[in-house]
Amino acid sequence: MATRLAPELQSTLPQPLAGRPRRRSRVKGIRSGRFAALYLSPAMLIFLVFTLGPAIFVFYISFFNWNMLNPAQSQFRGLGNYQELITSAAFWHSALISAYFVALSVTISTIAGFGLAMLLISRGGLRNLVRLAVLSPYFTPIVATSIVWIWIFNPQFGLLDGVLHVLHLPQVGWLESETWALPAVVLYTMWHNLGFTVIIFIAGLATVSGELREAARVDGAGFLREVWHVVLPQMTQTVLFVVVITTIGSLQAFTQFYTMTGGGPVDATTTTGYLLYEQAFVFYNTGFAAAVAMVLFVVIALFTLAQLWLWQKQART
């Protein structure tokens, strides 16, 4: 009799008692969310103070003829800094230099990184040693290694010009040449950042189907055809990620230009990032520099949004 009445008794329970387990889980979720927010608060505070706050301030001063020594004397210009930027020959020259630098560094780094990753996933006794040699530059300070490469590029007793002399080839001057200064910085940047692209490509190659590669070899496909028709189609998202990330990093590059060339010779290596520094801290044209920074921010944001859109498009297909 008791067992027959049990369902009926359960159906007559008050609603608060019936919803108690759900309420407990809801309270538990709220508590866990509060603890998560508490744990994240130090990082969020650092982000607000050192990243978001300065970014908002830069956007604010881009509308002023800003006086760094006495901000009270700053004059509101509205969109005047942006209008000056559009008509500035120095800005468009720096944009052209940046585009040249990005195109060279991203193309070379992507191709070289993928090629080295293909070699490093193969078996071999020297594989770990080569991996260490490739990855170690990425973890070294840019300033220190830039100084070392200045000596390598030295036209009198540098290593590269010494090699050219031994091969009976004309010496190019490297950092002292308007033609070769930018390729020299590209060469250093590729050497320094190659470890990052290799790591990403090795991780991407780990997801490539070994069965498909073996089937391609059985069908008589050579190495290049196997890579082009089997490996690369499975690594589209990885290649896209590397291209976008290296593009953003190249747009933000500054330290190697400051250390190795100082924007010269004759503005041959004055990128947009270096122009920003020069206008802000050399000529104290802070409002114009802030406008340059905002334009650079918009370009980088567009690349990021393009990456997300293409990533989602690849995921749907």
CA-to-CA separations, 201 to 94, 95, 196, 236, 241, in angstroms, rounded? 31, 29, 9, 11, 10
Range of the domain at 184: 88-316
Contact 251, 293 (CB under 8 A): no
With 0-12 CB in 10 A as exposed, 13-18 as middle and 19+ as buried, what is 208?
middle
Q: What is the number of domains present in the chain? A: 1
37/97: higher pLDDT: 97
pTM of the model: 0.83
**Backbone angles phi and psi of 154, in degrees to 5:** -60, 130
Residue 54 domain-assigned (yes or no)? no
Q: Which residue has the tokens 């028709």?
A: 229
Task: State residue 13's pLDDT score.
Answer: 47
Residues in the chain, how many? 317
Take residue 142 and report the two structure tokens written for it.
Answer: 């840019």
Residue 93 domain-assigned (yes or no)? yes
pLDDT band with cut points at 50, 70 and 90 for residue 9 = very low
Q: For residues 231 and 217, give the distance between their C-alpha atoms in angstroms, rounded to a whole number.
A: 12
Residue 293 domain-assigned (yes or no)? yes
Q: For residues 292 and 90, give the distance between their C-alpha atoms in angstroms, rounded to a whole number.
A: 11
pLDDT of residue 288 exceeding 50: yes
Task: State residue 31's pLDDT score.
Answer: 60
Contact 265, 217 (CB under 8 A): no
Task: State residue 38's pLDDT score.
Answer: 83
pLDDT band with cut points at 50, 70 and 90 for residue 263 = very high
Task: State residue 1's pLDDT score.
Answer: 44
Where residue 193 sits, what CATH number does that domain have? 1.10.3720.10
Residue 107 domain-assigned (yes or no)? yes
8/105: higher pLDDT: 105
What three-state secondary structure class fits 173?
A: coil
Residue 151 domain-assigned (yes or no)? yes
pLDDT tens-digit readout, 10-62: 455 445 444 455 555 565 555 666 777 888 888 889 989 988 899 999 999 99
Contact 246, 189 (CB under 8 A): no
Residue 191 domain-assigned (yes or no)? yes
Contact 246, 197 (CB under 8 A): yes
Q: For residues 8 and 28, give the distance between their C-alpha atoms in angstroms, rounded to a whole number.
A: 30
Percentage above 70 pLDDT, the chain = 87
pLDDT band with cut points at 50, 70 and 90 for residue 222 = confident
254/211: higher pLDDT: 254
CA-to-CA separations, 239 to 91, 122, 282, in angstroms, rounded? 31, 20, 39
85 CB contacts (<8 Å, ≥6 apart)? Answer: 91, 288, 291, 292, 295
Q: For residues 101 and 253, give the distance between their C-alpha atoms in angstroms, rounded to a whole number.
A: 10
- What is the chain's mean pLDDT, rounded? 85
